[in-house]
Structure 1
Amino acid sequence: MRSPTPAPTPRKTPTTPERPRRFVFLLLDRFTLIAFASAIEPLRLANQVSGKPLYAWVLAGENGREATCSNGATLRLDIGLTEILRDDTVIVCGGLDVAEATSKPILNWLRREARRGVAIGGLCTGAWAVAKAGLLEGRRATIHWENQDSFSEDFEAVRLLKSVFVIDGNRMTSAGGTASIDLMLKVIAQDHGEELANTVADQLIYNSIRTDQDSQRMSIPTRIGVRHPKLAQVIARMEANLEDPVSPAQLAEDVGMSTRQLERLFRRYLNRSPKRYNMEIRLQKARNLLMQTEMSVINVALACGFSSPSHFSKCYRSQYATTPYRERGTSGAPSETGGI
C-alpha cells in the first residue's frame, strides 16, 4: 500500500516570528540626521550584540532615489511610496520646514498604510506629518519643544505631551535628537527584553536611559544657570501663563516676597526686570507661531497675551527689529521650522 503523500511544508508568511521586524524610515526633505541616526543605530546594535537578525530596515522617500538632510548630506533610498508589508513599522523622519516637505502624495501614502494596519511613528517634526495625515487624533504624542506651541494650535485633537518620547498603541513619536535612542531602546526592551536594551545602551555609551515620563527640556535652574528655588517658581509660572500674563506683584506674592525683592532677584541673576523677562518669552512664542503656523497676526498676539495688535507690533519691532507682518513675509509661507 502506498504511503500517503506528505503534506507540503507551508510557506512562511510575512508575520512568521523568524522574520526580522522591519522599519521603513520615511525621510522627508531636510530631515534631521541626528534623530534618524539615533533611531537606526540601536537596531543595528541589537542585531550585532544578539548575533541574530532581529531587525531590518529600508529607507523610503517620495522620489524613491535620494533624500537630503538638513545639513546637506544626501542618502540613497531603497524604495519610493510603494505598498509595504502589514507588519512593517513606518517611522517618519522630519526636520526643517516639515509642512513644506509633507506633500499630498506622502499624506495619502501614510493614510493608506495606516488603513492597512501598519504601525506609524514620527521622529522630531515627523510627528507633524503624522498628525497632518490625521493619524494622531485622540492619541498621546510628542514633538520637539520648539514646535510644541504651533503643534498645539494646529492639532487640538492630539494629546500633546512634553515627554522625550511617547508610545500610544501602534503610534510612536519622539522629540528628536537623542530622544530617538530612548524610543528605540524602549522598543527593543518590549520586543526582546530589558537585558538586550541595556546591552545596546552600553554599546552606545548611553548611561542615562530616559523613559516616557522624562521631560525633553532641562529643568529651569539648569536652563538659566541659576539654582534659586523662588526664581525657578516664578519663571515656571510665567511660562505657564503666556496667554494671560501674571503681574509681577502677583508673582511676588505667590512666592512670599515683595515686588521690590522680586525685582532685585531678577536683576541680580538675569540682569533684567521680571516684566522684561516675561515680555521676552512671550515674544519668543509669538515668533515661533508666526513662522510655524498660519495663524493670523491678531490671533498670534492674543495667544501671547497682547490685547492690542499695535502694542504687539511695537514690542515685536523693539525685540526683533522687524514687524510681525514683515517677519512672516520674509520667512515665506508659514511652516513648521526647527527640530534637531
Structure 2
Amino acid sequence: MLASKKPLKYGFLLLPNYSMLGFSSAIETLYMANWVSGKELYQFCTIGHESKEIASNTSVSTVTDYMTSNVPSDLDAIFVCGVSPITKNESPTLESWLVGQAKKGLGLGGICTGSHLLAKSGLLNGYRATIHWWSLAHLRDEFPETIVSNHLFEVDRDRFTCSGGTAAMDMMLFLIGKQHGMTLASSISEQFVCERIRSHEDPQRIPLQTRIGNGQPKLIDAVQLMEANIREPLSTDDLAYHVGVSRRHLERLFKQNLNIVPSRYYLEMRLQHAKQLLIQTDKSITEVGIECGFGSAPHFSTTYKGFFGITPRKERKHVTGEEPVTIQSDRKKRQLWRR
C-alpha cells in the first residue's frame, strides 16, 4: 500500500461487551500516527448497530458517532471490535450489513473476537485470519473455510484480523509501516514505550519455554505431551517414561519450576480446556467431559465445581444469560447477573 495524500478513514464497529483494550490500542495508534507525523494521516469513527451507546467489557460506555444505517460513504475499512467472550446472538441483519460493505470494496478487520462475526458472515472464507487464543479452536472447528493461525495478527489482502489486546497496536503499526514507512511506525512505538514492534508471525501465548528458559527440556516435553493427550490423559508414570526421567525427578521439575505437581497441572489444563468448550461450543456437558478425559458426567461435574466453584451446567447457563450465578474464588464470592 502506498502513502496517500488523502487521510485513510477507518470505522470501528463496537459490539456490546467489546474489548476496551483492543479498541483503545487500535485508535490510540492511529491518533499517535497523526501526532508524530504532524499530518492528518488517519481519520476514524465509531459505529453502533442497535444502539448508539455501547458498553464495553469493562462497563465503560461509548456513544458512537454513527449507526450502521448512516455510516459515511467514504470509509476505507471497518474493524469489528468483538465481544469478549464470544456470544451466540449476533444479528443476521448485522451480518448482511457487513457483507454489503465488503461488496462495496471496503477492507474489513476483526479485533479480539471480531474475527468470529466476519467468519460467521462468510467474509473470511479463503482468507488467513486469527482470533484471541481462547477462541482459536472454536474458530477452526466452526469455520473450516477460514485459514486460522495462532499469530498475533494476520493481514491477508483486504482482511485485517488480530488477537486483541495490545496486538491491535501491533497490527496498526504494521499497516502504518506499509502505508507511510517503518520510520513512522518505529517513532510511534517509541512514544508508547514499546520495546519492539512485534511481527504478525509472533505467537499469541507466551510458550512455556520462554517463561522458564531452555534449561528444562524434559519439563517442556512433558507439558507438550499433556497438551497432546487431553482426551486420554497419561499417568505421571507414563509421562516420566516418555520423557526419559523417573517419576520423582519429573515431580521435582514441576515443583521447582511451576510450583505444582504434574497431576494437578494436567488436571487444571484439562479443566481450562473444558471451560472453553462449554462457553464456545454446543457440545453436551457429557461430550465435553469425555473430550477432556473424564470418564463420567458426575465425575466431571464434581471436579469442575471443585476447581471453578460452579457446575458445568451453571457455567453454560451463565454464558447464555439464563440466570445469575455465584462464582466462588479462593477468598470471596461475587455475584454475576445477566445484563
TM-score (norm 1): 0.84
> Does residue 22 in structure 1 map to residue 9 in structure 2?
yes
Structure 2 counterpart of 1:69, one-letter code: S
**Match of residue 20 from structure 2:** 33
User: Whole-Å Cα distance in 2 between the matches of residues 97 and 309 of structure 1?
Assistant: 25
Q: Give the distance between the partners of 1:269 and 1:198, measured in 2 at CA.
A: 36
Q: What does residue 292 of structure 1 align with? A: 280
Q: What CA distance in whole angstroms lies between the structure 2 residues aligned with 1:151 and 1:333?
A: 22
Larger radius of gyration: 1
Query: Match for residue 49 of structure 1?
Result: 36
Distance 1:104 1:273, change over 3 A: same
Residue 226 (structure 1) shift: 10
What residue number does 2:186 align with?
198
**Contact 2:87 2:320 (C-alpha < 8 Å) held by counterparts:** no
Query: What displacement does 1:105 show?
Result: 2.3
Give the aligned partner of residue 328 of structure 2.
none
Amino acid at match of 1:62: H
The 3-state SS of whatever aligns with 1:117 is: coil
Aligned equivalent of 1:71: 58
- What is the match of residue 184 of structure 1? 172
Match of 1:253 in 2: 241
SS in 2 for 1:43: helix
Partner SS state of residue 99, structure 1: coil
One of 98, 109, 113 as aligned partner of 1:110: 98
| 1:26 CA drift (Å) | 0.4
2:307 to 316, 319, 323: 319
Q: Distance in 1 between matches of 2:148 and 2:275?
A: 20
- The verdict on how the C-alpha distance between 1:322 and 1:35 changes in structure 2, with shifts beyond 3 A counting, is closer
Question: Any conservation in 1 of the 2:110–2:118 contact (CA below 8 Å)?
Answer: yes
Equivalent-residue separation in structure 2 for 1:159 and 1:237 (angstroms):
25
Tell me whether 1:92 sits opposite 2:58 in the alignment. Answer: no
Q: Which of 156, 162, 178 does residue 168 from structure 1 map onto?
A: 156
- Aligned-residue offset at 1:273: 3.2
Q: For residue 237 of structure 1, what is the aligned residue in structure 2? A: 225
Structure 1 residues 71 and 320, CA gap change in structure 2 (3 angstroms): closer
Contact 1:149–1:285 (8 Å) recurs in 2:
no
What secondary structure is seen at the aligned counterpart in 2 of 1:157? coil
1:119 matched to 2:96: no
For residues 18-49 of structure 1, the C-alpha deviation after alignment (integer angstroms, 9 at most, x for no partner) is: 32111110011121221111111221222222
Q: How has the CA–CA distance of structure 1 residues 86 and 306 changed in structure 2, closer, same or farther, with 3 Å as cutoff? A: farther
The farther-off stretch of 31-40 and 198-207 is 198-207
Give secondary structure in 2 for the equivalent of 1:122. strand
CA distance in 2, matches of 1:305, 1:274: 16
Aligned-residue offset at 1:333: 4.9
- Please point out which of 258, 264, 285 is paired with 1:276: 264
CA–CA distance in structure 1, aligned partners of residues 224 and 76 of structure 2: 41
User: Structure 2 counterpart of 1:73, which letter?
Assistant: V
- Secondary structure in 1 matching 2:87: helix
- Whichever residue aligns with residue 192 of structure 1, its letter is H
Aligned length: 319
Work out the CA distance in 1 between the residues paired with 2:188 and 2:89.
32
Between the aligned partners of 2:14 and 2:271, the Cα distance in structure 1 is: 32
8 Å contact kept, 1:141–1:160: yes
| Runs of 5+ unmatched residues, structure 2 | 323-339
Q: Structure 1 unaligned segments of length 5 or more: list them.
A: 1-15, 335-340
Given that 1:25 and 1:91 are in contact with CA atoms closer than 8 Å, whether structure 2 keeps it comes out as yes
Distance change >3 Å, CA 74–CA 329, structure 1 → 2: closer
